[in-house]
Amino acid sequence: MEKYELLIEKISTASGLEVSEIEKRVEEKKAKLSGLISKEGAAQIIAAELGISFEDQDLKINELMAGMRKVNVIGKIINLFPVREFEKNGVKGKVANFVIADETGNTRVVLWDLKHISMIENEEIKQGDVVSIKNGSTRDSEIHLSGFSEISKSNEVMENVKTEREVNEVSLVDARQGQNVRIRGIVVQIFQPRFYSVCPECNKKVIAEGEGFNCAEHGKVNAKERGILNFVLDDATETMRVVMFSDQINLLIPEEDLKDAEKAMAFRDDFLGTEVYLSGLVKRNQLFNNLEIVASNVEKVDVEKLIVELEKAE
Which CATH architecture group holds 172-313?
A: Beta Barrel (2.40)
Residue 294 or 219, more confident: 294
What was the pLDDT predicted at 293?
95
Average pLDDT, the chain: 88
pLDDT tens digits, one per residue of 41-75: 888 889 989 998 877 788 999 888 777 888 999 99
pLDDT tens digits, one per residue of 221-256: 888 899 999 999 999 999 999 999 988 999 999 999
Going by pLDDT thresholds of 50, 70 and 90, the confidence category of residue 179 is confident
Cβ distance 95 to 123 under 8 Å?
A: no
Cβ distance 282 to 181 under 8 Å?
A: yes
- Same topology, domains 54-163 and 172-313? Answer is yes
What was the pLDDT predicted at 35?
64
Rounded to 5°, angle at Cα 266 from 265 and 272: 85
> In the predicted model, is pLDDT for residue 217 greater than 80?
no
Going by pLDDT thresholds of 50, 70 and 90, the confidence category of residue 89 is confident
What was the pLDDT predicted at 1?
44
Q: CATH for 54-163?
A: 2.40.50.140
pLDDT tens digits, one per residue of 21-45: 999 999 999 888 876 677 888 888 8
CA pair distance 218, 15, nearest whole angstrom: 55
Cβ distance 159 to 122 under 8 Å?
A: no
Domain ranges of the chain: 1-53, 54-163, 172-313
Pairing mode of beta strands 290-300, 239-245: parallel
